[in-house]
Amino acid sequence: MNSKPFTRSKTTHAFSTLPPLSMDGKSVVEDFRRYFSRTLGRSELNEAAYHVYTSFAMAWRDRIVERWKKTQASYDAEDSKRTYYLSLEFLMGRALSNAMLNLEETSSTTDALQKLGLFLEEITEQEHDAGLGNGGLGRLAACFLDSCATLQLPVMGYGLRYEYGMFRQKIENGYQMEEPDHWLRIGNPWEIERQEFAVRVKFGGHTEPYTDDQGNTRVRWVHSHDVLAVPYDMPIPGYRNGTVNTLRLWKSTATDEFDLDEFNAGSYAEAVGEKNDAEHITMVLYPNDASENGKELRLRQQYLLASASLQDILRHWVAQHGNDFSQFAEKNCFQLNDTHPTCSVPELMRLLIDEHGLNWDDAWAITSRTVAYTNHTLLPEALERWSVSMFGRLLPRLLDIVYEINARFLAEVSLRWPGDSDRQQRMSIIEEGPEKQVRMAYLAVVASMSVNGVAELHSRLLQQHLFHDFYELWPNKFNNKTNGVTPRRWMASSNPELSKLITSVIGSDWITDMPQLRKLTPYADDAKFRAQWRAVKQANKARLAALVQKDCGVTFDVDAIFDIQVKRIHEYKRQLLNVLHVIHLYDRLKRGERDGITPRCVLIGGKAAPGYQMAKRIIKLVNSVASVVNDDPSTSELLKLAFLPDYRVSAMEIICPGADLSEQISTAGKEASGTGNMKFMMNGAMTIGTLDGANIEILEEVGSENFFLFGLNAEEVEAIRGHYNPDAIIEQDDDLARVMHLLECGHFNLFEPGIFDPIIQSIRNPHDPWLTAADFRSYIDAQHSAASAYLDHDHWTRMSILNTAASGKFSSDRTIADYNREIWHLPNMAQ
């Protein structure tokens, strides 16, 4: 498939000596005009908003490509160690404003555009979000790439180029509707197709032994149905440092050989049908952020990513080092983003043994020293398992290898704990039972040199529960890497006014050195600074209110407290608890209680997995309560509730700067980390939250006087199970009883009787895993404290400043520095 190089290589040399492009705004805009009128062939600026965006992006892309080539050439020349971040999801959002921020100041471009009557904001608005992820895990991968490039680390992302990203969410009659997100339809100026690096990936067929030239018995994988994986590269620019890293996304296509037998038999359509099957693999992102267990197409996606990426990496290795793998483990690291890319373990073994002739022990020494695994969940339903029969049918050679890994591993277990057959069964990578399963998390743990959770509590729970047996065997493998988010996108780019204000007092170094934000602490006592801070917050609230008006038709008053919960809809995240609080406030207002009530605007947003009925029902409840509350003239002055449709990265860029109160209210022990909590904190929101995930570390950094804490902790949650009695709690709590009564009498669903019965039952269920009723009282009390605190604007603004000042730990630069210091050991590659 490789295209032929030109024979006269002097031509290539000629390109590397092109003069650098000017960064002056005028010359960027000149290039933009050339792309618009000559390359895209358009003439009227005002009739072609999308083409304006594309040609402007192309002008910036040129400037990135120069730096990109240089960076990659320097990595090759230095032959430094590299890390590959393997992930089924990269939730990149928009690229243009990020590219402009990271490359250079943008003011001169803004001026040059204005001379043409164009506004930068209108242009950037044209870009479609790259929504190639579900939520936290996918966005984390995107923040990590930004930090790796900013820290000048040789890290490359590998993922899938889904034709359709995360579905678009519409709300009809209060219900979620899903629409396909064909984000590539109008083209993507940020990707470069690399046909020349396409690779073949095998599926199906079977394995057979054979004897090679040297008389060794080996195995080959035959009669497979192959597909072609074609890479598309996206540039990842670091913050003003000349580094541009790569995100390589695979698209599946058919190989060019049609099935000749079928073709000759006249089955043209069947032969072409096979082409379709191949193209289906990367057609769509699975929209579940917990589980969609056992779907064959999902396993095909996972293997395509693993196989294509590893072949690509090994090709590059062989081009540089020949077939000598003695230094491979010193020079390469694979970070697995959850178990989704864990096929990489048996696939690396297969490639090293079957394709490169290594023996088992040498291949295992390489694999087990290069792979590292990050876990993102404790929820049992989210742990990946594949039926052995499907796995073997689709990936027969990999199943052989998984069995061999397991046999050798169990031998090690029985050496350590002789005769403990219980433990062997518990730890086996293959789960026995009527339908045998491959436990992907165990495979990842066994093969990895490092296993990490994503916040202190989460990592501790992994060691004490999910992976306890493994922790006893290999305590040193286990570690924590508390998540972080990039301050470039989540402050500098999305909150320019706050960034300017911060920079005016402490300088701009905080953008790449977030702990410097601590220097803001004394300014919390400075009345003038507080006034400026509040003015910025009010302006950001106005921007958010405009979005809510446009997308929900609900009017938010910027003087009210903006109380916000945006994240995937999940029972463990307890959007339901939030709604119960809104109903409680509504009830109090209806009872005529007005004294000391703080005007409040509550915003909830997020997508439910299309098959998750309870989550969809919760969305309906939010919308039903919203229409009652907002339409009631006796409450709507003081209380508003809106459900924001189609929550996505670009919406969060407007939401988090405008938030006063950040809802982080999951049942303790269930949210691995959370990352939205960090974005809100940086932008000066106060958190109302449980002792869960990274909330605990946020509380530690900011102090309990600047955080609204409530609820059971993780130990208490486990201790209460077995004697939890929600009916008794409801009976003893007047406020909760009244809220339940409003729900149960159908006040919010007069025309659709019974639709909320499953929700009511879940609250009253003694086996409710999320313990909604248990935390109701302390949640209401914490909300009450927040509301009172908000009435004292000066005090609130003080706390807001202190939250930003304490948020330095939650930069993904710190997280990546931790990964690098303790796992990857990559050199800094200043350009």
User: Sign of the C-alpha dihedral, residues 313, 314, 319, 325?
Assistant: positive
Q: Enumerate the H helices of 428-467 as residue ranges.
A: 440-447, 456-461
Can you tell me which of 59, 305, 672, 742 binds ligand 26Q, judged by CB under 6 A?
A: 672
> Segment near ligand 26Q (CB under 6 A), from 40-48, 135-143, 220-228, 463-471?
135-143
292 touches ligand 26Q by CB under 6 A: yes
User: Running DSSP on this structure, what letter comes out for residue 164?
Assistant: B
Can you tell me which of 454, 461, 544, 618 binds ligand 26Q, judged by CB under 6 A?
A: 454
Number of C-beta neighbours around residue 260 at 10 A? 9
91: which residues sit within 8 A by CB, 6+ positions away? 130, 131, 132, 133, 134, 135, 138, 139, 141, 142, 166, 649
CB 773 within 8 A of CB 729: yes
Comparison of 163 and 338: residue with beta carbon closer to ligand 26Q:
338
693 touches ligand 26Q by CB under 6 A: yes
Q: In angstroms, give the least distance from the CB of 575 to ligand 26Q.
A: 14
690 touches ligand 26Q by CB under 6 A: no
Can you tell me which of 286, 325, 373, 779 binds ligand 26Q, judged by CB under 6 A?
A: 286
808 touches ligand 26Q by CB under 6 A: no
Provide the CA 539 distance to its chain's centre, in angstroms.
Answer: 28
Can you tell me which of 288, 332, 463, 578 binds ligand 26Q, judged by CB under 6 A?
A: 288
Number of C-beta neighbours around residue 752 at 10 A? 13
567 touches ligand 26Q by CB under 6 A: no
> Segment near ligand 26Q (CB under 6 A), from 186-194, 545-553, 592-600, 671-679?
671-679
Kindly report the backbone phi and psi dihedral angles of residue 684, in degrees, each rounded to the nearest multiple of 5, phi listed first.
Answer: 80, 25
Q: In angstroms, give the least distance from the CB of 675 to ligand 26Q.
A: 5
Comparison of 578 and 749: residue with beta carbon closer to ligand 26Q:
578
Can you tell me which of 129, 146, 571, 671 binds ligand 26Q, judged by CB under 6 A?
A: 671
- DSSP class per residue in 488-524: IIIIIIT-HHHHHHHHHHH-SGGGT-GGGGGGGGGGG
Q: Enumerate the H helices of 49-173 as residue ranges.
A: 49-78, 96-103, 107-114, 120-125, 136-150
> Segment near ligand 26Q (CB under 6 A), from 124-132, 134-142, 364-372, 536-544?
134-142
Comparison of 485 and 655: residue with beta carbon closer to ligand 26Q:
485
Ramachandran area for residue 739 (φ above 0: left; ψ -120 to 50: alpha; else beta):
alpha
Comparison of 51 and 298: residue with beta carbon closer to ligand 26Q:
298
Cβ-based burial of 357 (10 A; exposed 0-12, middle 13-18, buried ≥19)? middle
CB 658 within 8 A of CB 463: no
Comparison of 64 and 688: residue with beta carbon closer to ligand 26Q:
688
298 touches ligand 26Q by CB under 6 A: yes
Comparison of 63 and 139: residue with beta carbon closer to ligand 26Q:
139
Comparison of 140 and 333: residue with beta carbon closer to ligand 26Q:
140
Q: In angstroms, give the least distance from the CB of 518 to ligand 26Q.
A: 24
CB 102 within 8 A of CB 487: no
> Segment near ligand 26Q (CB under 6 A), from 37-45, 212-220, 284-292, 490-498?
284-292
Calpha distance 568→288 (Å, rounded): 10
Comparison of 454 and 576: residue with beta carbon closer to ligand 26Q:
454
Question: Which residues are the active-site residues?
Answer: 376, 567-568, 573, 675, 679
Ramachandran area for residue 605 (φ above 0: left; ψ -120 to 50: alpha; else beta):
beta
Can you tell me which of 483, 624, 690, 762 binds ligand 26Q, judged by CB under 6 A?
A: 483
Q: Are strands 130-132 and 90-93 parallel, antiparallel or unpaired?
A: antiparallel
CB 83 within 8 A of CB 154: yes
664 touches ligand 26Q by CB under 6 A: no
679 touches ligand 26Q by CB under 6 A: no
Q: In angstroms, give the least distance from the CB of 294 to ligand 26Q.
A: 9
Collapsing DSSP states into helix, strand and coil, what is residue 70? helix
Residue 382, H or E segment: none
Q: What Å distances lie between residue 252 and 25, 159, 311, CA to CA?
A: 39, 12, 15
Can you tell me which of 137, 398, 564, 739 binds ligand 26Q, judged by CB under 6 A?
A: 137
Q: Enumerate the H helices of 418-491 as residue ranges.
A: 421-427, 440-447, 456-461, 468-473, 487
Comparison of 292 and 818: residue with beta carbon closer to ligand 26Q:
292
Q: In angstroms, give the least distance from the CB of 689 to ligand 26Q.
A: 13
Query: How many residues of this chain interact with ligand 26Q, rule: CB under 6 A?
Result: 24
Collapsing DSSP states into helix, strand and coil, what is residue 195? helix
Comparison of 376 and 607: residue with beta carbon closer to ligand 26Q:
376
Residue 740, H or E segment: helix 734-744
Q: In angstroms, give the least distance from the CB of 456 to ligand 26Q.
A: 13
Comparison of 291 and 623: residue with beta carbon closer to ligand 26Q:
291
Comparison of 337 and 540: residue with beta carbon closer to ligand 26Q:
337
Q: In angstroms, give the least distance from the CB of 339 to ligand 26Q.
A: 8
297 touches ligand 26Q by CB under 6 A: no
CB 256 within 8 A of CB 200: no
CB 220 within 8 A of CB 335: no
> Segment near ligand 26Q (CB under 6 A), from 197-205, 349-357, 549-557, 670-678?
670-678
Nearest residue to the partner ligand 26Q, using Cβ: 136
Kindly report the backbone phi and psi dihedral angles of residue 374, in degrees, each rounded to the nearest multiple of 5, phi listed first.
Answer: -105, 125
Spell 617-630 as b/e; 16+ CB within 10 A means b: bbbbbbbbbbebbb
Q: Which of residues 363-392 bind ligand 26Q (CB under 6 A)?
A: 376-377, 382, 384
Q: Which of residues 763-792 bind ligand 26Q (CB under 6 A)?
A: none
502 touches ligand 26Q by CB under 6 A: no
Can you tell me which of 675, 783, 804, 820 binds ligand 26Q, judged by CB under 6 A?
A: 675
136 touches ligand 26Q by CB under 6 A: yes
Collapsing DSSP states into helix, strand and coil, what is residue 174? coil
Can you tell me which of 57, 112, 140, 363 binds ligand 26Q, judged by CB under 6 A?
A: 140
134 touches ligand 26Q by CB under 6 A: yes
Q: In angstroms, give the least distance from the CB of 276 to ligand 26Q.
A: 22
Calpha distance 208→396 (Å, rounded): 10
Q: In angstroms, give the least distance from the CB of 295 to ligand 26Q.
A: 7
290 touches ligand 26Q by CB under 6 A: yes
309 touches ligand 26Q by CB under 6 A: no
Q: In angstroms, give the least distance from the CB of 454 to ligand 26Q.
A: 4
606 touches ligand 26Q by CB under 6 A: no
147 touches ligand 26Q by CB under 6 A: no
Cβ-based burial of 346 (10 A; exposed 0-12, middle 13-18, buried ≥19)? buried
Residues binding ligand 26Q (CB under 6 A):
134-137, 140, 286, 288-292, 298, 376-377, 382, 384, 454, 483, 671-675, 693
